[in-house]
Amino acid sequence: MDKELKILKYSDLSKLIERFRSKGFPVLAPVQKGKVIEIEPVDTLDTIALDVLLSTQSAKKAAFPKVEKVLEYTLEKAAVKQTAIDPNAYAETILFGVRPCDASGFKSLDAIFGEAPSDAFYLNKKEKTTIISFSCPTADDYCFCTSVGGGPGYTAGSDIQFTAISKDELLVEILTEKGKKLSGLFNDLLTDASPSIDKEKFLADVKVVFDLDKVISNTTAAFNSAELWLDQSLRCIGCGACAFVCPTCACFDFQDEQNTKKGVRLRLWDSCGFSLFTLHTSGHNPREVQSQRWRQRIMHKFSYMPEQLKVLGCEGCGRCSRACPVDMNIKEHLTSIALQ
Amino acid sequence: MNELINKVTKLLNDKTIDAFIGYGQGSTDRVRAIFARTVEQASKLIYTPACTFNLSGYLLKHEVKHLGKLGILANVAALRSIMQLASEFQIKDGEVYILFVNDDASLTEFSDFQSIEAFLEKANIDITPDEKARIEKIEAMSVSERWEFWNKEFEKCIKCYACRAACPMCYCHRCTTDVNQPQWIPVASHERGNLDYHLMRAMHLAGRCINCGECANACPMDIPLNLLTYQLIDPIKTGFGATAGMKADAVYALSTFKPDDKENFII
C-alpha cells in the first residue's frame, strides 16, 4: 500500500497504549531496568523507555524467544505419546517503541525461518505481531545502519513508524495493511500531515563508514585468509553475547527436558561463537578455533545470507559491539574488510 | 607508557617472547586487549587508569598460546589468577614473561612464581568500597530476601556464557552446563536453568575465585555475578584457611582432606 502520513499529539500517545491494552493486545516495549533496557510487556506509556538509544537486546524475542516449547511427550511403558504444541496459540501482539533496526531485523529472520521447510513457530508469531517503530533522533559511535542499507528513519519491517517532529507532535507513517488495520484503533487521534514535512531533519546523522558491496565481495573472497580472521579475533573469548543481542542471529539448539514419565522439547538460542556449536559426536570440530568461528559469524551475515537468501544478516544496530565484553567492534572489522 | 613500549620492543627484538598481551585503545571510550607480535604492534600498547581488566584468561586461549612464548602485562588480579592457574597446573613457572606497572609507572618484571608470591603478600587485595557496600547490603538481607534478590538477577540471564568465557578460572574444555547426555543442569535459559547454572558456577569457583570481577564486567545483562562468587571467599578462608591466588603450589581447599578439617557442617 501507499504509505499514509498523519500527525499524532505526543500527549495522546498514552491513549494508544491504553486502547491496545483494553482490546486485550499484549504490548511489548523497551523498559529501563538498571543499566539494561529490556523489551517487556507493558501496560502504560510511563513504563516505556522511549528516549533511550535502543534496547540492550533486540526485539527478536517477540517472535523468536530464548526458550520455546515445541513438543510435549509422555512415556508409558514402551510407548511414547507426543503432543504437538500449537504454533498458532499466540495472541495478536504489538511491538511498540522499537528502533528501525529492530523492525528491519525481522526481514532477515523472515527469510531464514521462511525458507522451506518453513518454521511455523516463528512465522505465526511474526504474522501476529504489529510493529510500531520510533525513528532515531540520536545515534552513537557503534551505530552503522546507513552503511548496511538502513537508516535512522528506515521503514522496512515496520508497520507504523513514529518520528518526533516537535516537542508536542509525532509524524505517523502508516506503512502496511497491518499498520492500517491497527491504526483503526486510534484514527480519531490522527490529523493529516502536510506532505512537505521533511522527516530527515529530525533524524540522527549516521555517516556511511564503509562500502557494503566491497564488504560483501571481500568477505566472500577472504574465506581462506586465516591471518585476517585470526588478527581480528585474537581477543574474542567465544561467548554468545553478540549473537544473543543480535536482531538477525537465528541459530538454535534443541534440548529435551524429561523425567521418567514425561518430557518437553525446547528450542533454545545458540551461537556460532561457541566451540560446542559445531562439535561432532566423533570429537572432530570443523571449526576448531575461535578465528574460524568469528569468520563464520561474518561470512554468514555478509556472504552466505546475501547469496542464498538475498538479505543481509546485519542491520548495523551495533548491539554486538556494545555487548561484547572484549570490545570486538563489528563496524571497525567490516571497515577493515572493505579496505582489504 | 614509553618504558612499557621500549621494554616490550626489546623483548620482541631479542626473541625473549613472541607475543605480548597488553592493553590498547579500543572503541571510543574503551580499552581492549592487544597482542603485540611486532614492534609496530608494541608501539600501540597503552597503560591508562582505564586499563583495569584482568588479561590472564588469554594465557589459556588456544590461539593465543600458539603465538609462541608469551609475555603479559599483569595487574594484581592477573597475578593472582596466574598463581591460581599455576596451582591448578595450567601454567608452569617460567612459561610466561610477566610485567607489572608500579604506581610510579616503573616496571617490575617477575623472574619466577616465588617473586610473585612475595609481591602479593604485600599487595592490596581488598575489594573496592563500592563492592564492599553492595556485599554488605546483600549480607544484611534475610535468607528469603537474598533468594529473591538473586532469582531476580538471574531472571535477566540469557545464558550467553560471557561470564564463563571472561573468567580466567573457567577453563574447562567442556563445562558441566554443556554436558547434555545426561543433563547435569538444565541447558535452557529458563528460571531453573539460569539458577542452576549460576549456582553451579559459583560452587565451582568456591576457593578458586580471586574476585577480579570479570564475570560481572562481561555480563551484557548487568548481573553482579562477582558478588555471588565473592561471598564464597570468606567461608573458604575461615573454614580452611585458604585464600585463592596467593601461592603457586597451593592445594585446592575443596579437593583435599586434612585430619584437622572442621567437620561441624556435616550433619
How far apart CA A21 and CA A23 sit, in angstroms, is: 5
Tens of pLDDT, residues B14-57: 999 999 999 999 998 899 999 999 999 999 999 999 999 999 99
B187 touches chain A (CB under 8 A): yes
- How close is the nearest chain B Cα to the Cα of A180, in Å? 35
What ipTM is given for this predicted complex? 0.94
With b for 16 or more beta-carbon neighbours within 10 A and e for fewer, the B34-60 pattern comes to: bbbbeeebbeebbbeeebebbbbbbbb
Task: Kindly indicate the confidence band of residue B267, based on its pLDDT and cuts at 50, 70 and 90.
Answer: low
How far apart CA A216 and CA A205 sit, in angstroms, is: 24
Predicted confidence at residue A1, as pLDDT, reads 81
A86 touches chain B (CB under 8 A): no
Q: Which three cell numbers stand for residue A322?
A: 556494545
Average pLDDT over residues B149-166: 97
Mutation for testing the B interface, residue in A142, A292, A326, A334 having most B CBs under 10 Å = A326
Residues of A in contact with B218 (CB under 8 A): 237, 239, 241, 325
Say yes or no for a CB contact (<8 Å) between B32 and A230.
no
Interface of B with A in 91-120 (CB under 8 A): none
Contact A129, A94 (CB under 8 A): yes
List chain B domain ranges: 2-122, 129-242
Average pLDDT over residues A161-186: 97
Task: Kindly indicate the confidence band of residue B1, based on its pLDDT and cuts at 50, 70 and 90.
Answer: low
A91 touches chain B (CB under 8 A): no
Please choose, from the candidates A244, A228, A248, A247, the residue with its C-alpha nearest in 3D space to the C-alpha of residue A325.
Answer: A244
B240 touches chain A (CB under 8 A): no
DSSP 8-state symbol, A51: S
How far apart CA B266 and CA B68 sit, in angstroms, is: 48
A56 touches chain B (CB under 8 A): yes
How far apart CA A265 and CA A245 sit, in angstroms, is: 23
Mutation for testing the B interface, residue in A234, A257, A275 having most B CBs under 10 Å = A234
A55 touches chain B (CB under 8 A): no
Say yes or no for a CB contact (<8 Å) between A289 and B27.
no
Say yes or no for a CB contact (<8 Å) between B166 and A289.
no
With b for 16 or more beta-carbon neighbours within 10 A and e for fewer, the B121-142 pattern comes to: eeeeeebeeebeebbeebeeee
Q: Angle B134-B245-B131 (CA atoms, 0-180°, nearest 5)?
A: 10
Tens of pLDDT, residues B98-137: 999 999 999 999 989 999 999 999 999 888 899 899 999 9
